[in-house]
Amino acid sequence: MWCKNKRFHMAVVSTRSSGDNHNAVHYVPLETYHPPTTYETYGQEIEHAAFDSAHNLDLADKALSVDVESVPFRSGYTSEAGEFVYPERYHEGIPFINSVANVAWKDDKVVSFGSSFVTPKNSAKSTPSITVEIIISTVEAALDGKYNEHPTSLEYLARDNGTVSLVHVTQVQNSEVNFWYEAYVYVDAHTGELISLTDFVAEAMDTVLLITKRSIPEGIETLTDPADLMVSPYGRHAPSTTNYTTTSGNNVVAYKASSTNCDTTQAPSTTINVNVARINIFYVTTYNLQTDNSGKGGAEGDRVLMSVQDSSGTNNVNFATPPEYIWTYTTPNHDGSLQNDIPIHESTHGTNRMTGGGTGRCFQTTEAGGLGEGWSDAMSELTIEGFVLGEYVVDDPAGLRTYPYPNSAATNPWRYSSLKPLDEVHSIGEVWANILHQVYSALVTEYGFDADARTNPASTGGNTVYPHLFLDALAIQPCSPTFVTIRAAWILADQNWYGAFASCDLGINAASYTDDTTVPSGC
């Protein structure tokens, strides 16, 4: 999400309007509730109850105070960093939407455990009184959208008053106002009340602008065979065995003839500039979201659709699959598709779903949403050369953020305690991105900088270690993460460093937005 001077409010327990973020016609007050998350890390040496090979949750009775039969295995995977399992609370065979857990272990030892499990005062009956067909029409009318044919489900939703509601889960989209809601609808025998929703859209804002360059004034270049065949054996343009010569491929369909030129004196809407934007966005976003995983594991079928110069808005971009807008701060207007840090920022929102086992439901609190914005800024900064984001599209060397991201507290004063008055995700994200900048800087200072980091994941330089930790921590952290829990996840991802967090006052004793510079013994 990219926004300049835009503010909206959402609390952990609150009511909000479904039109707050997307200019929707109807305004429906909704409840958002995310049960408190407990999170513990055990380090590398502590023996602890673990899953066996069948994923039996021996931990449940001790840590969760729930019947192990009500906590079945939902999803999980194994990587070089360890094994990750995401159990889910059930009642009478029906899963809870917002009562989940995550367990990470390495070498048969549990190293972290997070849970938002609830013990409800009472639960609604498991048999609905209103059919999902009736619910779908109600939700479509309430949100001015259309059901997108995604399979519906019946789930429980824990509420802030200690009760649990039975809800139909449907997905509703409206491309005209750029929303993609997953609506949790409370099934009531009399009203069919719409209780809550999850918004899947994170808004913000072959001759290509190289990934290491910020924006079009730095010049475009022609690349020959840029695909990494180890990662994508069929190449970038081929979903499976079908090969394309347009901006359609295994990872991305970029739409709105290839051209090797760009005319920055003309408006973005001219044919030559539309083609350049389309080609560049295809190049920049051809990464891990893909139609065919080529037998390398993980979920597939998640190719990204990229709409360049999307006519539904200006001065912004978003990612559910993201439209890229035109920015109107300049004459002629500037195209966000030709400012590399913007599509990189948006595409990084696609990695957040690694948290919570791929539900896409773990970033609805304000603090978690801010962390998501911070990750996106941090990944943009890692990829491009420079510490100012979005300066081209707004024609301002200061860019879109309050401060640049240098390794200097004098230039960027954001600290952990800066969060106290903040209630807007982009400002919160700036704090997290600044902390991650200190992490990146410390790693490069300690381990050096590898020129082959983008093609050799086994490199040992700080610029290679950093993205490994970046992604590993996403899998380790709990649902609805906070600065404190994600700090613990990063520390667990790599036990060898910690000083970067303390340098921004997010030390081991930091809590409730009070600064601390303490580091653990041995660090």
Among candidate residues 325, 249, 233, the one with its CA nearest the CA of residue 289: 249
Q: Are 208 and 283 in contact (CB under 8 A)?
A: yes
Neighbours of 458 (CB within 10 A): 7
Nearest-5° angle of CA 493, CA 107, CA 295?
80
SS3 call for 342: helix
Choose the catalytic residue: 155, 182, 346, 424.
Answer: 346
Phi and psi torsions of 85, nearest 5°: -130, 145
- Whether 345 has a binding-site annotation, put simply, is yes
Phi and psi torsions of 469, nearest 5°: -65, -40
Q: How far apart are CA 193 and CA 135, in angstroms?
A: 9
DSSP string, 208-237: E--TT--BGGG--EE-SS---TTT-TT-TT
Secondary structure element (H or E) that encloses residue 139, with its range: helix 132-143
Neighbours of 206 (CB within 10 A): 19
- Whether 373 has a binding-site annotation, put simply, is yes
83 is catalytic: no
Q: How far apart are CA 370 and CA 374, in angstroms?
A: 6
Neighbours of 443 (CB within 10 A): 22
- Whether 203 has a binding-site annotation, put simply, is yes
Among candidate residues 362, 358, 367, the one with its CA nearest the CA of residue 482: 367
Active site residues: 346
- Binding-site residues for Zn(2+) sit at 203, 345, 349, 373
